[in-house]
Amino acid sequence: MSVKLTLIGLSFCLLSTSPLCHAQKAIIFVGDGMGPTTIAATRIFEAQKNDLDWRSHMLSFEEFPNVALVRTHTVDAQIPDSAGTMSAIMTGHKTRSGVISVKPKYAKGDCKSVFEDPPRTLFEHASEAGFSTGVITSSRVTDATPAAAYGHSPNRMWENDSKTPDFALKQGCGDLASQMIDFGEGQLQGQGLDLVLGGGRESFLPTSAVDPEYPESRGARKDGKDLIVNWLRKDDGRYFVWNLDQFRNLDPLGSGRVLGLFEPREMLFNLERVRGKGNEPSLVEMTEFAIRFLENKAGKDGGYLLMIEGARIDHGNHAKIPILALTETVEFSKAVKKALSLVDLKDTLVLVTADHSSSIAFTGYPEADMPILASLSYPSFSLIADDGRDHVMAESEEEPLEFDPSSIPSPHAGEDVAVYAIGLGASKVHGTLEQHSLFDIIFETIL
């Protein structure tokens, strides 16, 4: 739909009392790395932890009426990464692995992909149509999955200027943190993102800045810019928070825009958070705030688009520690349940899917009462991290969590993932779909 037609439709609806003119809403839940095995194992895990019958137990989204399989390959890989897969969902185009919302005719690292023919993302379309928008993640807000909503980059690693090569900076095609801050500028209506919550403070702070939570940490930007200050100065009514107390003091029924960056890099695993570590909201808390905030901001006749990523499911699988992946998926399921309690499904589409699967295996012949954690395994290769320590699979919630997941290699998996749908337009989800067709379903439903 063209911007012109969108505006004509909005103008017509301003003069109409028809319920068909009430703008629609969509919430996209993405469980990063949440393949079929992770879902099945989490279902049993949650039941066992709560003394429920695992044979009949279901996660919240497994009760959705419409389900389909989704093919996740990218144009250059049978087994994909988060950049290529989320770009497909956000733009409606299959692309290469490792790139953010650009077309596949350009090689990775080619800045022409950003300037010559970038596909518009769902969030760009929504912003131009006057919708309110929000992005939530438990990873860095500049990580591949959230970045695909607002950014265009020939390399997913270019999260800040210190990670972006000089040639790209000179050509002006890099730095996803800067793109997030400037999202919406130059567009027809200049909406920008209304709400961003997650981790990744270091990409927004200069190297001269001390992190507000960890005095030993500094920002990562070499250009000397404090992007948080720059964002706050754009107009009145902007709020930045970096800890739980500040977050809980925000008014979800307030106006303006909110930026919450709760860690220098990824947010904590939920298992760490419930043990008392850190000072940050849970995925459920962020989900509830976001929906109340966007519902209020959009008003009776306005629409909104919200993406919520359970990012650390994938990190738990990468680390080969099932308890982390499963507890993250439980929290993700709770966030979906919370969302359903807050929205009107007559005007809201809720999709739950994964960008790709992970290579966790649920094998053997475990007896009915065997703890699920004893039945899970991963492909075997070296687990020696940079610090020289061996890392083994944790089978207990009491297992220490002293490791760096990013230092442990572990593959994704290439099988189809599921998409679950409920609410407005959910009937469009059925059969087996190419991943980029999720863009069309969302676009045709709300835009």
3-state secondary structure of 283: helix
Set 82, 87, 101, 138: catalytic member: 82
Structure tokens belonging to residue 219: 């920002």
Amino acid identity of 178? Answer: S
Close Cβ partners of 388 (under 8 Å, ≥ 6 residues apart) = none
Q: Which run of H or E residues covers position 307? A: strand 304-310
Instruction: For residues 46 and 49, give the distance between their C-alpha atoms in angstroms, rounded to a whole number.
Output: 5
Active site residue 357: no
Instruction: For residues 95 and 73, give the distance between their C-alpha atoms in angstroms, rounded to a whole number.
Output: 9
354: buried, middle or exposed (CB in 10 Å: 19+, 13-18, 0-12)?
buried
Q: How much is the CA Rg of the chain, to the nearest whole Å?
A: 21
Instruction: For residues 240 and 362, give the distance between their C-alpha atoms in angstroms, rounded to a whole number.
Output: 42
Closest to 95 (Cα-Cα) out of 86, 108, 104: 104
Q: Which run of H or E residues covers position 433? A: strand 432-434
Kindly state the DSSP code that residue 124 receives in the 8-state scheme: H
Kindly state the DSSP code that residue 81 receives in the 8-state scheme: -
* E strands, 346-415, in order: 348-353, 357-358, 361-362, 376-377, 412-413
Which residues are marked as active site? 82
